[in-house]
């Protein structure tokens, strides 16, 4: 548990709230002696204890993870970028591509987002999920960047095993060639709502133009997908951040609100662009 750097965070909480260690101990339901033993690494901190500390801070309006994000971005090098990775159970050992699934958005890779909120949102429903802040040095690496368009839609569908009958189609092969030899991919994030929309396109219910505008309406920002060991060597974990229950509830509430707005935009886009573009069977005929 010590990789959360809890002791540094406790000092920040006490300083920002102008309280003593004894007052903090009382607020989180432990004795001052216990707090002291944690600080000296003489006693393990249970997950429930961590949640109590960070919940208390969040209730008091202290957004520790946002503070860390801003400070790291201020110190970030000119050729580097700060990224975020939400983890259901934490990262064990070295970051590895081999631990990922073939059916992710772009197959096997290590996935990070540009937004702290979006990365946390994806794992907020898991009981022991957490967040990592990372710095990525882009120097001397090759990449490809995708936008919310038909190429991106088809690639997502392909890696999600929705286009098995078209695996050897020239259009699919040409798209896959764009990913060959690159170290990382920058592409829009796809969530379950997006998969449903893409499924509607693959099932022939909507055209590519309708699908593209529906997906744009639910835009979640970009993700970085690291697909080579070379790129992983230039990715450094800066901080492992605890996600308290109250913070998770905050993100899940934001997600529900965004989903409502996004779903309404999708309905409008389906109607507004009806009849425009091509259906999947016309594209891959």
59-86 pLDDT, tens digit per residue, is 999 999 999 999 999 999 889 999 999 9
128-144 pLDDT, tens digit per residue, is 999 999 999 999 999 99
Task: State the pLDDT confidence band at 19, using cuts at 50, 70 and 90.
Answer: very high
Segment 1-4 long-range contacts (CB within 8 Å, at least 24 positions apart): 1/44, 1/45, 1/47, 1/50, 2/41, 2/45, 3/240, 4/50, 4/130, 4/240, 4/241, 4/242
Question: What strands lie across the sheet with 130-137, from one edge to the other?
Answer: 143-145, 184-188, 222-226, 110-113, 80-87, 130-137, 235-242
DSSP secondary structure letters along 112-164: EES-HHHHHHHHTTSTT-EEEEEEEE-TT--EEE--SSHHHHHHHHHHTTS-G
The percentage of the chain sitting over the pLDDT mark of 90, rounded to a whole number, equals 60
Residue 2 has pLDDT above 70, yes or no: no
1-62: CATH class: mainly alpha
Q: Closest Cα to residue 109, out of 119, 121, 99?
A: 99
Task: State the pLDDT confidence band at 94, using cuts at 50, 70 and 90.
Answer: confident
The whole-angstrom separation of Cα 142 and Cα 179 is 10
Question: Rounded mean pLDDT of the chain?
Answer: 90
Break the chain into its structural domains and give their ranges.
1-62, 77-283
Query: According to the model, what pLDDT value does residue 217 have?
Result: 67
Helical (H) or strand (E) element with 262? helix 245-272
Residue 218 has pLDDT above 70, yes or no: no
Contacts of 147 (CB under 8 A, 6+ apart): 188
């Amino acid at each position: 548990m010590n990789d959360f750097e809890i002791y540094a965070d406790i000092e920040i909480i006490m300083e920002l709230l102008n309280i003593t260690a004894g007052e903090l101990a009382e607020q989180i339901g432990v004795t001052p002696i216990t707090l002291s033993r944690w600080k000296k690494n003489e006693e393990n901190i249970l997950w429930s204890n961590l949640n109590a500390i960070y919940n208390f801070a969040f209730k008091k309006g202290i957004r520790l993870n946002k503070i860390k994000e801003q400070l790291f971005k201020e110190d970030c090098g000119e050729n580097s970028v700060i990224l975020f990775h939400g983890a259901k159970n934490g990262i064990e050992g070295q970051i590895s591509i081999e631990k990922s699934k073939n059916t992710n958005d772009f197959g096997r890779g290590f996935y990070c987002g540009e937004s702290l909120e979006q990365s946390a949102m994806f794992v907020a429903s898991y009981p022991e999920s957490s967040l990592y802040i990372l710095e990525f040095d882009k120097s001397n690496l090759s990449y490809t960047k995708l936008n919310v368009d038909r190429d991106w839609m088809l690639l997502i569908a392909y890696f999600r095993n929705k286009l098995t009958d078209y695996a050897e189609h020239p259009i699919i092969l040409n798209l896959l060639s764009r990913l060959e030899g690159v170290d990382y991919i920058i592409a829009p994030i796809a969530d379950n709502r997006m998969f449903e929309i893409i499924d509607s396109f693959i099932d022939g219910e909507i055209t590519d133009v309708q699908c593209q505008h529906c997906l744009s309406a639910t835009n979640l920002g970009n993700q970085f997908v690291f697909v080579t060991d070379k790129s992983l060597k230039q990715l450094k974990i800066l901080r492992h951040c605890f996600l308290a229950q109250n913070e998770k509830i905050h993100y899940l509430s934001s997600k529900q609100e965004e989903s409502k707005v996004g779903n309404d935009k999708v309905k409008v886009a389906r109607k507004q662009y009806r009849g425009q573009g091509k259906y999947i069977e016309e594209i891959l005929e």
